[in-house]
Every structure is written in structure tokens, then in C-alpha cells.
A and B are shown apart, each in its own frame.
Chain A
Amino acid sequence: MDIRAILLVGGVAGEPAGANERISGVPIAYLDSLGVSVVERVLRRLRRFGICTTTLISDAGEDTALPNPAEFHPRVHPVPATGDDFWDAAEDTFQRYAAEGADLVVALRVGPYAEVDYDEMIQHHLDKRCIISMAVDSENSSLELFVLDPAGRFDARELFHNHLLRIRRQCEPFAVKGYVNRLRNVADLRHLAVDGLMARNDVRPDAMETKPGVFVGRGARIHRLARVVAPAFIGARARVHASALITRGSVLEHHAEVDCGTVVENSTLLPFTRLGAGLDVVHSVVGFRRLAHLTRNTEVEITDAKLVDMLPLSPVSRLAGSTAALFAFLPRQIYRCFRALSHRENAADNPECAEPANALLDAPALESPASGMESSEFPANLAVMRRYGDH
């Protein structure tokens, strides 16, 4: 059976662009959750159920920190479309699939993340002989996921023109029994990651479990004096400096960096985010130079790079930045070294400091013959466990 998919990212109904399902203009669907973007997870799920040919229609634009379309599976065809073109592109794709002889088309918007059993849903669609089947959650509200019959072109047109909010012919909806997350805001993204760490959904961390509940991605560097308390996720090439503490289900996505002494508690650091030294990040999602505090329900823009910064996205820029930092660091250290030496010399010049130590200090600490005998009797590498007693 030839089943194809139309995956829509953006096109939030009834909201101006950028007001919802986005962080600093980037769709939440494109952000990583435990090492893999939500879109990639949806695509993988579709593939697992044999739906490989997918058109990904996105209104995200090109100037944002998005994953490269080339990184997707070869059978995923990305189509950028903004404004009114977004829904037209969806309709055109449906018409193309119908013309190419697809048996069924799955149309879904991310938007909501739902762990759907596509086999069950398609079986439901076939059993009920529907033209369009809609997936709903436990509260009977739409998950913006539909199975369409290619014969129902007018139904499809109606559906896309109404931004997936209305269907022409009602059919018995398919109730999704699996995990559902609406992914409306950063708090939902945080919940998705925490549920993944707690194994409440299929969002498995894309990393190795180094300790029970502690997942560390490839190339991540954790200082030996840093502390990571389970459950926690440290993404690929993330860095945790000395004395930092990562605790209570905190998530550091790839290339995130936590400087010395900073505490990250019940928080998520989005990719390429750098936290300064000695900070306390609690119940927050930090990224794109913004901090969203989940309990205070406040989003703050932080322009001070000492507090929150964003690392360059390109590896070349990152390399140049770290090289410049090294060159700035070395002269400073050399200067400090010379300064410390000069201070020591000054101390030696001081007659009070240079005065010979007390005569008692020159005398051997243990002058008794017994101690001398002991020291000669026992080799230096032997520890005396018990010296006194009856036995």
C-alpha cells in the first residue's frame, strides 16, 4: 500500500506568526528534545510504520537556527512556504500525490506531538470507509492529524483552506491512546523532555547512558569536579565546567555550555546556549539569549553575554572564537605568572620574612630512639594499622 505523508510545520491557526509554537522565531518543532528535533522524531515514527515518502512544508524561513534540510532522510522533500502559500503548498502536494497514484495520504501538523499507531489509524480509516479520518485526543479535541483518501480532492481542499480546523464530511474520529503533547510553548517542550527522561513516552535520549538516568551525548565534556545528578541529559558536544551542578531532570542540548559553579536545576538549555559562571538557573528554558522562567511565567531577554550567550552556529566561527579566546587567555596567564613571581621575590627581600626559622623547627621532629628504630624497621610503603593493644 502506497501511503505518503504531508508534514506541516507552522501555520498556527488564529495566531499571528511568531506568537505561538515558537521561540525567538524558531518553531518548537525544529528544536531538539533529548538530542533529536521533534520533526525528526515524527519523521522517524512515520518511517517506522512504512510511511517513507514525506513532504515537509515549513513556514519557518531561512534565517533561523534550523536543521539543514539535507540532514533529513532522502525521501523527505522539504518545501519552504510562507503566508498564504503555506496552505496552497499543502493542497498542491496532496493533488500531486493523488495524481501519482498514492493509496492514502497522511496530513499532520507539528504543532502537537502525538505518538500515534498509524497502523491502527489506517485500519480505522479503511474499516469506517471514510474520506477523511481525524485523530483526536482523550478529550476529543483534534490533533491536527488526518488520513485522507486521494479520491476526496474537494474534501482535502476544504481541509487545507480551513487550516485543518474543519472537515467537509464528518466521520467517526480516531482516538489516539498514546502520548500527546500540544507543544504550544516552551513549557510544553520542557515537559516533553522530562517525560522522555522519565520514560513516559517514546522520546528516547539520543545519547549513551553513562550512569543510571544520566545520558551523555557524543563528544560531550564534563569536568571531573562537575556534578550531574540523574535524571539528566548532556547533549552531543555540550560542555560542563568545574563545580557546575546539573540536576532534577535538566537537559543540555547539543553544544550547550555551562560555566564554572553554575547550577542548572529542572531546566533546559537549548542548543548553542552558553551560561556564564556562578549562576542559578531554576525551572527555566534558556536559549537564543532568552530565559523563559516556567514558574514565574516570564520570558526575559538577556543581552549580557556574561550571563547568557549564544555560541556561533557555524563550526568555523566557533573554532575562530575559541582560538581567539585562547590567544587572549595565554598572555593574561603569563602576566599573572610573572606578577606572582615578582610578589614572591618581594617577600623574600623582606628581612622579617627572610629571617631564619625558629631553631626548634630545624630540629628533627622525632628524636626518640624508638621512633628511629621504627622508621628503620618498617619500609616506607607499609602502613601500620595497629600499634597498641593486647594482641
Chain B
Amino acid sequence: METISRPVVVKRMPERMNLKQARKFLKEVQPFLNSDRPQVVFDMSQVRHLDAAGIDVLLQCMREAVKRDGDLKLAALSPQSAVVLELTRTGRLFEIYESSTAAVKSFSSFLPNALRQLEPQLSQGVVPMFAPQAVDANANDDGSGASLAA
């Protein structure tokens, strides 16, 4: 049986995440979150101002993703966003990666995919070492905000 890798959506967060921007951002990401088992990465490298509304949206997105058996990961945290996530104790709720690429890779190196990779070798009785699956994820290079990596 062929297993197809699901796409990973990388979305760059805006510079300001106040109430107005947060609502707008939520509208933008809602379609991705409503898909089956969404795999979403928020690139926070541009975030300079993050307030309670922004944190609320992050949690809301996380809830939506988990509800549909998916996951939301954060990547490339700016110093400001890292401080606010620590301050509000929300940082510990998310998987956080140094870069969007690392975050995207983390989805594919998760156990089911890793096992799929190893399946032929296991059938031959070979027990190889675990290694993360390489994913070509060129997140946000076009500057449009969202990008897909399969």
C-alpha cells in the first residue's frame, strides 16, 4: 500500500500580532487548519510585537490542528517572540525549531513516516539506525507567507 506524505504548510507570521492582525492572521490560516490532519509551521522570525491576542491565536490554531489529528510547530523565533512566549508560559506547549526547514523535517522524521522508510529493510531482517527523512522544504523564499513542502 502506497502512503503519500501530507503537505506541510509554512506560514510566516506578521511583524505585529495585536488583536487586529491576529484576527486577520487567523482568517488566513483557517483553511489550512481545517484540512485533514494539518501539518503547519509558523515562522516567527519577523515578529516584533506579540501580545495576548497573538498568543490566543497561536493557542487557537494549536487547538484546531490537534483536534484534526495534526500538529502546529513554531520556527525561527525572533528574540521578542521568544521572550513573550516564555513570559506567558506558552512556549512549552509548542515544538520549537531553529528554522522552518528543521520544523518541516521534523514532521517527516516522525515515527510513521520513518517506519515506512524502513519497511523494506525490516522485511529483509535488517535493523538499520534511525535517521530523519530529508525533506526539501524551501519555506518562505517567495516572501508570500505560506509555502508547501511535501
Interface residues of A (CB under 8 A from B): 278-282, 291, 293, 296, 298, 300-304, 306-307
Contacts and interface: CB of A to CB of B under 8 A. Distances in A.
A296 B78 CA distance: 11
Nearest to B91: A280
Interface string B36-62: 000000000000010111000000000
A280 B87 contact: yes
A304 B51 contact: yes
B83 A293 contact: yes
A21 to B, nearest CB: 22
11 contacts: A278-B88, A280-B86, A280-B89, A281-B87, A298-B83, A302-B51, A303-B51, A304-B51, A306-B52, A307-B51, A307-B87
Given A301-B49, A303-B51, A307-B51, A279 B89 contact: yes
Q: Which of B18, B49, B80 has most A Cβ within 10 Å?
A: B80
A135 B77 CA distance: 45
Contacts, number: 44
A293 B86 CA distance: 10
A115 B79 CA distance: 36
Given A303-B49, A307-B52, A291 B87 contact: yes
B87 A298 contact: no
A278 B86 contact: no
Contacts of A293: 79, 83, 86
Main secondary structure of the interface of B (DSSP, over half): helix
Contacts of B89: 278-280
A12 B17 CA distance: 36
A280 B84 CA distance: 10
Contacts of A281: 87
Contacts of B49: 301, 303
A298 B80 contact: yes
Q: Which of A279, A280, A303 has most B Cβ within 10 Å?
A: A280
B82 interface: yes
A258 to B, nearest CB: 13
Q: Which 4 A-B pairs have the closest CB atoms?
A: A304-B51, A298-B79, A306-B52, A300-B80
Contact of B86 (A282, A303, A304): A282
B86 A300 contact: no
Given A279-B89, A280-B88, A306-B51, 15 more contacts: A278-B88, A280-B87, A281-B87, A291-B83, A293-B79, A293-B83, A296-B79, A298-B80, A298-B82, A301-B49, A302-B84, A303-B49, A304-B18, A304-B53, A307-B51
Nearest to A286: B87
Given A278-B89, A279-B88, A280-B89, A296 B83 contact: yes
A301 B18 CA distance: 13
A282 B53 CA distance: 22
Contacts of B79: 293, 296, 298, 300
A382 B79 CA distance: 63
A263 to B, nearest CB: 9
A279 B51 CA distance: 13
A303 B19 CA distance: 12
Interface string B127-144: 000000000000000000
A52 to B, nearest CB: 45
